[in-house]
Structure 1
Amino acid sequence: MTDGPFLLAPDLAGGPPPEPLDADQIRARLSLRSAKPNVSTLLGFELVDFSIEERWLEARFHPTPQLANLRGSVQGGIITAMLDEVMSLSVLVAERFTCGVPTLEIKTSYYNPLPVEPCVARGQAMRIGGRIAFMEGTVWTPGGEIATKASATCQVRRVKPAAKP
């Protein structure tokens, strides 16, 4: 492992496209993700489960008091970050980590305050095309109510082979 940032997904880099990961490799990579300093650790990401075939990922988040708004619940932008995380990861899982998936647009709707307590979120890749994917996500309160829903689009960046000299 290098001293640089931990990269979970490839981007537009030279070289051969990466080999698709199997379920055990994906689980190991996502477990490593939550142990490295990045947005996942800030949000308290913990993998619950995923399905490659059904294109979804579920995670538990453990927000801290530093992520609260003035009313004492999790700040809306932080909830959107949780949704962005699970939705993007649902595409990565479906594509078996052979691409990068930067978010292009996200729409978030808030239904109930999210207490600063562990919560569950689920992302679903609804449609994956050659260059764009459509995703949906939900965060539930610890009591099981829907706190927030989102829909988003991301770019599907497939790794291009290195240019020939």
Structure 2
Amino acid sequence: MSASANGAVTAVSDAALVQKWWAAQNACYGAPDGPACAERDRAAAALEARGYEWHNHDVWTSQSDAGHFYGVVESTNNWAANKSPTMLVMAGPATLKTLRKYLSDDKIIALWNDSHASIRDRYPSAWAIIGRQVKQIITDHAGENDPRYTQDY
């Protein structure tokens, strides 16, 4: 929440709050005991209060993001039942297109990094399909030197 020019309290959007967190996080790297770190911590608490989860490599995801991701995982696994290996390989690009319709690449990788083992155990067909697509995302961002596009295993 912030005050507007007339003193009324206005809600800060989720996107603005994530951007505020990023700005403070970047400032905090150079001064770990500075005021930016306190601002970062306040923004993090606000994001967590809104149901956001902080992942490795400084990626925030909402409950909606997770719902989209796991919905695609489950539907991909259900679709893959009794499909030929060729069909499973061909499904990858369509699955990635569906994931990218709702999620940025960094969020896809963050959610994958945090859940790939449970996906492998519970949704093995989706794990095989989406795992290849995560590797494609990483390849798409090769050379950027951005840790958000890194597999953690």
- TM-score bracket, normalised by the shorter chain, equals under 0.3
Q: TM-score, normalised by structure 2?
A: 0.26
State TM-score, norm by structure 1.
Answer: 0.25
Max radius of gyration: which structure?
A: 2
Indicate the structure with greater helix content. Answer: 2
